[in-house]
Structure 1
Amino acid sequence: MEQLLLLLIFLPLLGALVTALSGNAAKHVALVSAIVSLGFALAMVCNFTPDASTQFVVNYSWIHDLGINFHAGVDGISMITILLTNVLIPLIILASYQHSYKSSNAFFALILFMQSGLLIVFTALDAFLFYIGWEAALIPIYFICAVWGGKDRIKVNMKFFVYTIAGSLFMLLGLIYLYLQNPAHNFDIQAFYNLNLDATQQGWIFWAFFIAFAIKMPVFPFHTWQPNTYTEAPAAGTMLLAGIMLKMGIYGVIRWLLPIVPSGVQDWGHVAIILSVIGIVYASIIAFTQKDAKRLVAYSSIAHVGLISAGIFALNTQGMQGAMIQMLSHGINVVGLFFVLDIVSSRLKTNRISELGGIAKQAPVLAITALIIVLGTVALPGTNGFIGEFLLLIGVYQYNIWLAVFAGLTIIFGAVYMFRMYQNIMLGKTNDLTITFTDVKGSERIVLYIICALIIVLGVYPKPILQLSEASVQHLIEQVTQKLTSVN
């Protein structure tokens, strides 16, 4: 079955090459490639045994003299992120059908290239391979934002690039240090897990990794690149950033930071949780003041990711399982929100909330589907957002009741600003601008229907997703706890 993982990783690269050479048919070729990749991902799920083992393992010598291998595999934690990536990529490509991009073959090829980099990150069992995937996923999104973004794209994109490269350099220094401490002189993840580092070493490695991952998520105060980048990026770029790319940071914390430096997490994890909760409250308050709908959703994303981060650092099963399903749910919901706003802005050429209103009268299908997406975002019971946020809050509550009280504000504040945004955009009277609005059709309806179906199905029956990751999450918690017990 190892060939299945290789196909999953390298098929998007092949698809990117074919797409780049396919001219006007680029978007169709890219969509077919993404759907085939989704088929392989579903086949992997069907052949996956939901235990704590690593499956579909590939391990080939790559740079022998440096102990670098192409070593990848899948457990329950990475399976969630593989599903997220391969479900959202075809939706993002299909959502881009309504646009006519200059050099569209390059645009869609970059999306597939990024998909391959993301899958390397989510499956790598070799630290050097992980780093290669981390950087490979950054390159295409940089060009997507820089070439097809808004009027301030160059300045905004440079800030994004500097932030992420700086974070990557911190992580690279940490990985090199771990390599030098490893007697076997390789980058194998299990060898890093087995290192006996003292508290000081673990503290430095914690911050080297945490800064890199916190920038990517982003967590306060490393978030300042995000709102402007989300606003200036083309719709597909924003969806890739918010729906999938930020999950690289969350995954990095779970896969690399927690098991390698548990004492560092014990010493500094409280600071990480406090920063995450500050981010929740801060981003929610800032969201209230936003006049641009896209920026409002960007700040909403910071708040939701802050809760995921807090749940992870609570270091208990409920918080970790909540993070697993919320990664998937947040990706689906935020892609849905940005797609709805893209539909509105592509027709009316504005995202300013005050200039909109009454769209529901002109576009009832868009209004209904948008409402379902908003309900999922505010974690209404029966939608996909509920179970994840419920488990995350339980996890944070078990860690500290007062932090849970402030973390819970993400639900209260989120409901207020999301429903107010929906009311001002969709309800009320039409104006001279919105009177001409036309309802969704064709590919727009397909994307919205699929997203709404996922929101409802995952909300009503989340058990299969939770079962995928449960054993791996419990094994991770036990692994970290055992290392802390042996040290203490």
Structure 2
Amino acid sequence: MIPVLLIVIPLVSGLLAFLIKQDKSVRVWSLLTSIITMVVAVAGIAFIHKASYFQCDVPWLPSLGSSFSLTMDGMSKMLCLLTGIAYPGIFIATWNSTYRNPHQFFALMLLMQTGLMGVFVASDALLFYFFWELALIPAYFLCSTWGGERRVAVTFKFFIYTFIGSLLMLVGIIWVYFHTPDHSFAMSSFYKLNLPGAQQGWLFWMFFLAFAIKIPLFPFHTWQPDTYEQSPTAVTMVLSGIMVKMGVFGILRWLAPVVPVGLWGYGDPAASMCVIGMIYASIVAMQQDDLKRLIAYSSIAHMGLMGLAIFVTSSVGIQGVMVQMFNHGINIIGLWIIVELIERQFGTRKMSELGGLAQKAPTLAIMLVIVSLANVALPLTNAFIGEFMMFNGVFGSKSSNYHYIFMVVGGISIILSAVYTLNMLQKVLYGNTSTLTANAKDIRGNEKLVLVVLLIGIVVMGVYPKPMIEATRHAVDAIYSKMFVKLP
């Protein structure tokens, strides 16, 4: 019942939002329905031991062997919770942003939430692909209609990248479907297969490319910085905080358990792409003057570490990935909210044009410092435990021949992330005020509310991460056990 509600509520509310033409009314409607969705997602964690609440399996396309099959394990619950929490926070934080045709903007935002929730709970491969595409379509229109000056070209590149990846994944899904004994798209049927090693090799790349583009991993990342820069900040928050997790989720849910031999055979090349991307993105981030682009490249580096922890195949690393998917989403959304507040007040995102904000807007400065330090995994913040577990997994890997090298190179990227983050804090918050920041004002009540809630989550999850670890433990064990099979 719960996974059905997580899809139906944003779907129905999104369709109805098209009919609400008044600006304030559609904002209130979107916020209220997103809060209801959040409550349902929280219930998914509260009733974590009531398995009957998290299953749905009804005929959809029986002639093709596909059903409307939904299920929620610990990983799904954490990502649905992230999506449920993020949307009300985004709507509140961007309450004062203006949009042309706001009813269309908020309707598409809610429909994108429908696709995201569907991806995280689908246990039928064809249904998973359906929701995968459903999440992309609203994102395309949101970016191309309400984005910046270069929105059309940038969004076209984003769409082509992700659509090509989706087609490759569809080919892989269909191939696996025809090799299931019962010709079924059910996840259980896919998991039972033990395809020959050669087939698993090329199937690995079909699935991997789709997920690598979405994350994104080097060298398939080039769509991301421009898209984040040109998109409305509310959309950027969804793209970077939630949508990129679709790629990591897809690897854990569909790639690793279905083609484990391919994962073992090509894990090191994939892991190498991850660490190259981590170093590359960190170095490029150090050169940025635009806050949006700096955060975009920072996100590439952090997502690369998640990919690395998966491809070296260790239980503790996968546990760290599941924890970090949630924590990274919270931290990156917090950063985007602060960037939105800065740009709205000063009309710029360039660090060289800012400065001295700590003197004029102390609350904003405190918020930015805490979220930024969480983003670099300072101990006692939420990201620390996830990154610690992922590095621990890389160090103790028994499947990779180069895990020590990956460990060292990945550690360098963490040092670089501290360099560009502290440099950003120095330029934006300290020193003398500029002509733009001389009369700066501190943040408003609704903005403080969202950021305070995020900061409480950052500290609480950093000090006491046990609930997240316990919530995902069974999912980790189930996935990890399927990554070890005998060659056919």
Q: TM-score, normalised by structure 1?
A: 0.97
The answer on 1:205 being equivalent to 2:208 is: no
Q: Which residue of 1 aligns with 2:141?
A: 143
Contact 1:293 1:351 in 2 (8 A): yes
CA deviations 1:326-360 (Å, max 9, x no partner) are: 10111011111111111111111111111110111
The answer on 1:375 being equivalent to 2:373 is: yes
The answer on 1:299 being equivalent to 2:290 is: no
Task: Map 1:69-468 to 2 at 5 A.
Answer: 69-399=67-397, 400-468=403-471
The answer on 1:471 being equivalent to 2:474 is: yes
Rounded Cα–Cα distance in structure 2 between residues aligned with 1:325 and 1:158: 33
Q: Which residue of 2 aligns with 1:39?
A: 39
Contact 2:2 2:53 in 1 (8 A): no
User: What's the Cα RMSD here?
Assistant: 1.2
SS at match of 2:244: helix
Rounded Cα–Cα distance in structure 2 between residues aligned with 1:69 and 1:265: 28
Opposite residue 125 of structure 1, the aligned amino acid is S
The answer on 1:62 being equivalent to 2:60 is: yes
Q: Which runs of 4+ in 1 moved over 3 A?
A: none
Shift of the 333–61 alpha-carbon distance from structure 1 to 2, 3 Å rule, reads same
CA deviations 1:281-303 (Å, max 9, x no partner) are: 11001111111111011000000
Q: Which residue of 2 aligns with 1:10?
A: 8
How many residue pairs match? The answer is: 481
SS at match of 1:290: coil
Opposite residue 259 of structure 2, the aligned amino acid is V
Unaligned 5+ runs, structure 1:
none
Shift in Å, 1:397: 1.1
Rounded Cα–Cα distance in structure 2 between residues aligned with 1:293 and 1:7: 37
Opposite residue 421 of structure 1, the aligned amino acid is M
Q: Which residue of 1 aligns with 2:400?
A: none
Rounded Cα–Cα distance in structure 2 between residues aligned with 1:6 and 1:93: 23
Rounded Cα–Cα distance in structure 2 between residues aligned with 1:224 and 1:296: 14
Unaligned 5+ runs, structure 2:
398-402
Shift in Å, 1:54: 8.6
Contact 1:284 1:413 in 2 (8 A): yes
Opposite residue 298 of structure 1, the aligned amino acid is A
Contact 1:93 1:108 in 2 (8 A): no
Opposite residue 406 of structure 1, the aligned amino acid is V
User: In terms of mean alpha carbon deviation, does 404-413 or 247-256 score higher?
Assistant: 404-413
Contact 2:256 2:482 in 1 (8 A): no
The percentage of aligned residue pairs carrying the same residue is 44
Contact 2:319 2:472 in 1 (8 A): yes
Q: Which residue of 2 aligns with 1:30?
A: 30
Shift in Å, 1:87: 1.0
SS at match of 2:438: helix
CA deviations 1:87-120 (Å, max 9, x no partner) are: 1111111122020111111111111111111111
Rounded Cα–Cα distance in structure 2 between residues aligned with 1:26 and 1:325: 34
Contact 2:197 2:487 in 1 (8 A): no
Shift in Å, 1:17: 2.1
Rounded Cα–Cα distance in structure 1 between residues aligned with 2:5 and 2:209: 32
Rounded Cα–Cα distance in structure 1 between residues aligned with 2:275 and 2:434: 40
User: In terms of mean alpha carbon deviation, does 17-26 or 327-336 score higher?
Assistant: 17-26
SS at match of 1:434: coil
Opposite residue 317 of structure 2, the aligned amino acid is G
Contact 2:260 2:482 in 1 (8 A): no
Contact 1:171 1:209 in 2 (8 A): yes
Contact 1:45 1:79 in 2 (8 A): yes
SS at match of 2:54: strand
Rounded Cα–Cα distance in structure 1 between residues aligned with 2:432 and 2:180: 66
